[in-house]
Amino acid sequence: MLGNLQKYREIIISVALFLILDLSVLVVSSITTGQLESDAVAVNLASRQRELSQRIVKTLLQIQIAQNAEHSIEEPQNELATTFKIFDETIEGLRDGRLVTGGDYKTVMLIPVETDSAKVYLERAFLIWNPFKEKLFRVIAAKGTVPKEDLQDAVEYASNNNLLLLDLMNFITSEAEKKLSDKSNTLRTIQITGIIAALINFFILLFHFIRKLRSQDAEITRYSENLEKMVDIRTRELRTAQEQLRATNISLERAKYELEVLNSQLEQKVEERTAELKNTQTQLIQSEKMAALGQMVAGLAHEVNTPLAFVKTNLEGMSEFQKEIFLLVDESEKLCESLKNDDMENLDKHLVQLAELQERLKKANTIQDISDMLRESLTGMDRIQELVMNLKNFSRLDEAEYKYADIHAGIDSTLLIANNIIKNKARVVKEYAPKLYAECYPAQLNQVFLNLITNAAQAIEREDGEIRIKTSIEDGYAVIRVADNGKGIPKEYLNRIFEPFFTTKPVGQGTGLGLSICYQIIEKHSGVMQVESQVGVGTTFTIKIPVKQKRDGGAATEIVRSRSSNLQMA
């Protein structure tokens, strides 16, 4: 606000100045004009006095003529009276100032004369008028006829003084005119001065405004130049920025492209690596399987080898004994021949030899041996057959993969397979439920059992090693517990043992996949696998699998699917 006022101060001052000047000129000129009117009235009336004096003279003469001719003097007498009255009041007005009858018989205000010379002239005029006035008054007052002497006296006075009076009236009029002219000059001067002052003010104002406008213009120009410059700079900056942006954009595009290329390469690499990894995993799982298989096969070889060894020994022994038997048979045939032919010489000889042979066989207990050997060999063959049967049961290659199977049979066949690992380490205690069947992949479950039983046997370091296998049915779950009294698993390893590749065995002695594969097999059966262990006391693995798999959407297919993902997860 204050700033605005400040801004408008100049213009306000200028306007005020302008108004004051104009107003003062107006006031002065209006006053002066009023005075001029009065002065004009004075001029006018002063000049009328000359005419009036003439008319007074003329009416006097008219009265004289009329009287001479004896005509009525009434009319010129009235005119003289009126003229006399006007003349008298006007001259008094000029001296004292008073209301008088104007030119058009209206009353106007007459102001007294002011100049000294006019006052002198007026004094002299009064000196003439006052005696004239008395003479005229007698003329006017006369009824019917004016006494001749009076009239003569008036006419004589008039003719003697009229010219002087006229001159005086002229002087006064000139004085009045002079005063009027002076005043109107003054007025003109004032008006011109006012106008000039107003003009000067206006021009000052105009100049000032122009200058201001110009400076403002300059400022605006400067400002706009600045603005333009700034705009230029900004434009340049913007352009640079834009170019940079474009460059950035281009490099971004390029980077994006490169990224895409890299991405695709990466994807390819990932795919390759995934494939490699899968391959490696497959190989690892394969090698784990091979390791397990190798162990199993070695064990089985030993198991088969023992009966094979004694069966072979028996057969070799029998082939030796067979020679003796054949000798016996041969001798018997010869004896029969001799008997048939009545060959008495040879008969005796053969009889003796036969007796010797029989004695020898009897002494060596050969016959009994042969029958024992046969019996034992058959036993050996039975054992081999049983092993083969178990192997078949364990692998279940000739059965449906997924079926409702006897869990106990699976454990038992696994125990036989693992016998050679267990037998030097521990005795097996079975605490089976009366019956335990579950829907499962029996071969895979057997793999889990073999793993757990083998681990248990390997963990045992004491003389009275024991592996306790307990089964039960709990809430629709088949529960199998494999407990050992081995060295136990340290706490820090306990939550890691199901991790793939986790192993405490030296490098090359186990891939660390065994338990993780077991875990997955059990998961795949919608089951759980848990471990409890105490170092120095033993370890218990617990497996729980549903007796009946859920049928929504087909558990079997679910299991089959997860089986294929098994490879990837392991």
Partner 1 sequence: MSALSNILLVDDEPLLLSSLSRVLRLHYTVFTAENGVQALDIIQRNKIKVIVSDQRMPGMLGHELLGKVKDLSPNTVRLLLTGYSDLDAILNSVNAGQIFRYINKPCSVEKLREMIELGVQIHDRIVSMQNEAKTETPAKPATEVAKTAADPPATLLFVGYTPAEIQKLTSKMNVRFIVEHATTLDEAFAALNRVSVSVLISDLNFGEHDGIDFLNTVKKEFPHTVTVILTDIVDATMAIRSINEVQVFRYITKPVSEDSFARTVEEAAKKNRTYQSTPHQNIKLTAETISPDQAFQTSAEKLRAKLVAARIALTKSRS
Q: With contact defined as beta carbons under 8 Å apart, do 4 and 180 qualify? A: no
In contact, 450 and 412? CB cutoff 8 Å: no
User: To which residue do tokens 């122009």 refer?
Assistant: 210
Q: Quick one: 88 or 369, whose CB is closer to partner 1?
A: 369
**Alpha-carbon distances of 247 from 76, 100, 238, 257, 531, rounded to whole Å:** 125, 107, 14, 15, 63
Which distant-in-sequence residues (6+ apart) come within 8 Å of 317 by Cβ? 369, 373
> By CB under 8 A, is residue 317 in contact with partner 1?
yes
Query: Does residue 460 touch partner 1 according to CB under 8 A?
Result: no
Q: One symbol per residue from 346 to 385: x for binding partner 1 (CB under 8 A), - otherwise; what is it?
A: ------------------x----x--xx--x--xx-----
Quick check: 320 binds partner 1 (CB under 8 A)? Answer: yes
Q: How far is the CB of 308 from partner 1 (least distance, A)?
A: 6
**Which residue type occupies 514?**
G
CB nearer partner 1, residue 391 or residue 517: 391
SS3 content of the chain, % helix, strand, coil (to 5): 75, 10, 15
Closest approach, Cβ 305 to partner 1, in A, equals 4
Instruction: Choose which of 59, 90, 161, 420 interacts with partner 1 (CB under 8 A).
Output: 420
**Closer by beta carbon to partner 1, 308 or else 555:** 308
Segment (H or E) for 395: helix 366-395
Euclidean distance between CA atoms 522 and 444, whole angstroms: 9
Q: Which of the stretches 56-64, 117-125, 311-319, 469-477 binds partner 1 when contact is defined by CB under 8 A?
A: 311-319
Q: Check residue 316 for interaction with partner 1 (CB under 8 A).
A: yes
What DSSP character marks residue 104? T
By CB under 8 A, residue 18 contacts partner 1: no
Task: Compute the distance between CA of residue 152 and CA of residue 146 in angstroms, rounded to an integer.
Answer: 9
Three-class secondary structure of residue 511 per DSSP: coil
Residue 302 engages partner 1 in binding (rule: CB under 8 A): yes
Size of the site for partner 1 (CB under 8 A): 26
Exactly one of 174, 184, 287, 313 binds partner 1 (CB under 8 A); that residue is 313
* Closest CA relative to residue 154, chosen from 84, 72, 75: 84
DSSP letter at 79 equals: H
* Binding to partner 1 in span 191-250, by CB under 8 A: none
**Nearest residue (CB) to partner 1, 122 versus 450:** 450
Of 63 and 292, CB closest to partner 1: 292
For residues 281 to 300, the per-residue mask of contacts with partner 1, x marking binding by CB under 8 A and - elsewhere, is -----------------x--
Q: How far apart are CA 137 and CA 129, in angstroms?
A: 11
Contact region with partner 1 (CB under 8 A), list: 179-187, 306-314, 351-359, 529-537: 306-314
What is the binding site for partner 1 (CB under 8 A)?
298, 301-302, 305-314, 316-317, 320, 364, 369, 372-373, 376, 379-380, 420, 423-424
